[in-house]
Amino acid sequence: MANVLLFIGSLGAFELFILIIPALLWLYALVEILTKSFKNGTDKIVWLLVVLLLPVLGFILYYAIGRSRLVRS
Q: Which of 26, 67, 22 is CA-nearest to residue 44?
A: 67
Tell whether pTM > 0.85.
no
pLDDT at 9: 60
Return the pLDDT at 2. 58
Instruction: Assess if residue 5 is contained within a domain.
Output: no
Residue 16 lies in a domain: no
What is the extent of the structural domain holding 30? 23-73
In a domain, 69, yes or no: yes
- Ranges of the chain with pLDDT below 50: none
In a domain, 48, yes or no: yes
Burial class (CB in 10 A: 0-12, 13-18, 19+), 17: exposed
Q: Assess if residue 3 is contained within a domain.
A: no
Q: What is the pLDDT of residues 11-26, one digit of tens each?
A: 677 777 788 888 999 9
Domains in the chain: how many in total?
Answer: 1
Tell whether 6 is covered by a domain: no
Q: Give the model's pLDDT for residue 68.
A: 83
In a domain, 8, yes or no: no
